[in-house]
């Protein structure tokens, strides 16, 4: 009985040995479909032999961005573009707004799919003198260009759609307009059109607290309200809606007074300008303001400040007559 028990225990080991022996007789790739990427030379930085939809940011990152750009002190995550990973490379390149432009302000995005001419990335690696002498990228070897194979690879990636990690072509983002800042000033200072105002009301705040309502003298009959608005696709002066509304209630503008803005551009400064008559507005009450714009691409107007914002935003956009 002891012998039988030992044999039964050894049976699984014997069967496993037989199966391994049978498997070792088969070729590793038996019954597997052919790999269409077997012929790609991963040490080659040209695009020859690469299918059109396989030239993605991942490949360009491996060949160029990771080895030549994501270096310590360069684009290693401390400033954009961030070339540490394919994901960060794509998100900080394709349709990403630029920080440094040339003197002619010729560029808007770092990479535009199918367009090397207007992609600042391509300009930076091909132009020796983007802003100053010898400022061609990469800067680890100042004045020395990337190898032609690397430049051609980046150009091919852009011209084939600057595809993401999954082979998709990015679409131009279309964000809502941004209401940046406002200025409130005396009507008599508008000489010439929107020269810098000599008497600003928005800088004089109750109790000298910067987010408190600003003070408009009670003897003034009106003041100018100027607001700066920008958009990623619509020109600053082409907004379809520009409306200032004023209410005594911070969150209820249903019966608010409304004033339409007019676009003014002077000396490189662009604003929407509204005249605010004061005689019809109550004195000694806090008057809350909101501004509405629409770029023509969104169904709803963009407003600022919004109801869900914390109260200091609303008091910063308010004034009191006294």
Q: What is the pLDDT along the chain (322 residues), one digit of tens a residue?
A: 444 444 444 444 444 454 444 444 444 555 667 665 555 554 444 444 555 557 999 999 999 998 888 778 788 777 789 999 999 999 999 998 888 888 888 898 999 999 999 999 999 898 888 887 777 888 766 667 889 999 999 999 999 999 999 999 988 888 899 999 999 998 755 555 555 566 899 999 999 999 999 999 999 999 999 999 998 889 889 999 999 999 999 999 988 999 999 998 876 778 999 999 999 899 989 999 999 999 999 999 999 999 999 999 999 999 999 9
In this structure, what token pair is assigned to residue 280?
């019809």
pLDDT for 193 equals 55
- CA 17/CA 23 separation, integer angstroms: 10
**pLDDT the model gives residue 196:** 56
Question: Which pLDDT score is estimated for 175?
Answer: 85
Nearest CA to 87 out of 77, 78, 72 is that of 77
Phi first, then psi, for residue 128 (nearest 5°) are -65, -25
Pair type for strands 257-260 and 241-247 = antiparallel
Distances from the Cα of 261 to the Cαs of 98, 108, 274, 302, in angstroms?
Answer: 29, 27, 4, 15
Assess whether 197 and 117 both reside in one domain.
no
Tell me: do 189 and 260 sit in the same domain: yes
The CATH number assigned to the domain holding 184 equals: 2.60.40
Q: Which of 115, 131, 159 is the last residue of a domain?
A: 159
Are 203 and 291 in a shared domain? yes
Whether residues 297 and 241 share a domain: the answer is yes
Tokens of 257: 């007074």
Q: How many CB atoms lie within 10 A of CB 92?
A: 19
Q: Contact, 291 vs 256, CB < 8 A?
A: no
pLDDT at 79: 77
Domain count, the chain: 2
Q: Is residue 26 part of a domain?
A: no
Distance, CA of 242 to CA of 261 (rounded, Å): 5
- The pLDDT of residue 75 is 83
**Residues of the domain holding 260:** 178-321
pTM: 0.56
Instruction: Say which residues have a Cβ less than 8 Å from residue 215's Cβ, sequence separation at least 6.
Output: 201, 204, 205, 206, 319, 320, 321, 322
């Amino acid at each position: 009985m002891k012998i039988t028990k030992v044999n039964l225990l050894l049976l699984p080991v014997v069967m496993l040995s037989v199966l391994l022996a049978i498997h070792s007789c088969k070729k590793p790739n038996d019954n597997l479909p052919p790999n269409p990427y077997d012929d790609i030379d991963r040490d080659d930085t040209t695009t020859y032999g690469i299918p059109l939809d396989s030239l993605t940011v991942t490949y360009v990152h491996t060949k160029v961005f990771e080895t030549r750009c994501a270096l310590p002190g360069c684009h290693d995550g401390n400033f954009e573009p961030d070339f540490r990973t394919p994901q960060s490379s794509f998100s900080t390149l394709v349709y990403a707004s630029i920080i440094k432009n040339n003197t002619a302000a010729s560029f808007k995005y770092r990479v535009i799919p199918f367009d090397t001419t207007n992609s600042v990335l391509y300009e930076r690696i091909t132009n020796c003198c983007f802003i100053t002498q010898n400022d061609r990228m990469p800067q680890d070897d100042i004045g020395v260009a990337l190898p032609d194979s690397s430049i051609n690879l980046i150009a091919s990636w852009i011209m084939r759609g600057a595809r993401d990690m999954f082979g998709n072509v990015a679409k131009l983002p279309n964000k809502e307009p941004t209401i940046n800042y406002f200025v409130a000033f005396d009507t008599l200072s508008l000489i010439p059109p929107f020269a810098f105002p000599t008497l600003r009301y928005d800088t004089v705040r109750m109790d000298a607290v910067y987010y408190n309502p600003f003070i408009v003298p009670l003897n003034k009959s009106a003041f100018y309200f100027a607001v700066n608005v920008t958009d990623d696709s619509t020109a600053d002066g082409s907004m379809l809606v520009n409306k200032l509304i004023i209410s005594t209630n911070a969150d209820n503008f249903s019966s608010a007074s409304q004033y339409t803005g007019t676009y003014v551009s002077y000396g490189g400064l662009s604003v929407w300008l509204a005249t605010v008559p004061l005689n019809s507005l109550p004195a000694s009450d806090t008057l809350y303001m909101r501004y509405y714009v629409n770029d023509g691409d969104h169904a709803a107007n963009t407003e600022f400040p919004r109801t869900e914002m914390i109260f200091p935003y609303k008091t910063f956009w308010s004034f009191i007559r006294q």
